[in-house]
Amino acid sequence: MGARVVVLDYGFGNVRSAVRSLERVGADVTLTADRSAAQEADGLVVPGVGAFAACMDGLKAVRGHEVVGRRLAGNRPVLGICVGMQVMFDAGVEHGERADGMGEWPGVVERLQAAVVPHMGWSPVEVPDGSTLFEGIADERFYFVHSYAAQTFAKGHDEKAVGIFSPPKVTWADHGGRFVAAVEDGPLAATQFHPEKSGDAGARLLENWVRSLA
């Protein structure tokens, strides 16, 4: 039996395609909002599409933010996808309205500063050395569809912390300016792009994550 993975079903996200993609790479997948199942699984996937504030409301309705917090406190893996990544930051600002996120990472998700928004299509990424998610696929392109992103990432870059904490591995992409394309931070990993829509490269990324759950 493969690693037990729960895709959190809270009303937002390409849940069916995420489930199928994870099953194809060998995971034993359950789509549910049940907190006990989400807490006990080897890995939890938090998908997300649409507005930041609406996704946060959906997560709170099923107490998904509590599950994520408890899992991370216990060093249990979580993977966020698209808006499921964005809500890990402090806040999101859309149409002038600010909504609180889960605060796992400092920073604010804001509209991309590009001539054409949304950013839709295949883009390369800049992968840091030692990435587990991107092992074997650092030179590939991935499928993005979004208008907002975190455009800075500060956590782990305090020189005083080096040698005490392992800094997050941050992957970047560009659309009218650099933005955070993925983060690997201990048990918490996330991608702004959609691995489930990114062909063979996305499948390999999900396979890398599922393999890391063992």
Q: Which residues of 53-76 are buried (b: 16+ CB within 10 A; e: fewer)?
A: bbbbebbeebebbebbeebbeeeb
| Residue 196 among the catalytic residues | yes
Residue-wise DSSP of 188-206? EEEESS-GGGSHHHHHHHH
| Residue 55 among the catalytic residues | no
Catalytic residue among 55, 82, 146, 207: 82
Catalytic residue among 65, 146, 175, 194: 194
DSSP state of 128: P
Catalytic residue among 104, 110, 184, 196: 196
Q: How far from each other are the two terminal CA atoms of the chain, in whole angstroms?
A: 11
CB 199 within 8 A of CB 141: no
Q: Helices in 25-173 by DSSP H: which ranges? A: 35-40, 52-61, 64-73, 83-86
Q: What is the set of active-site residues?
A: 82, 194, 196
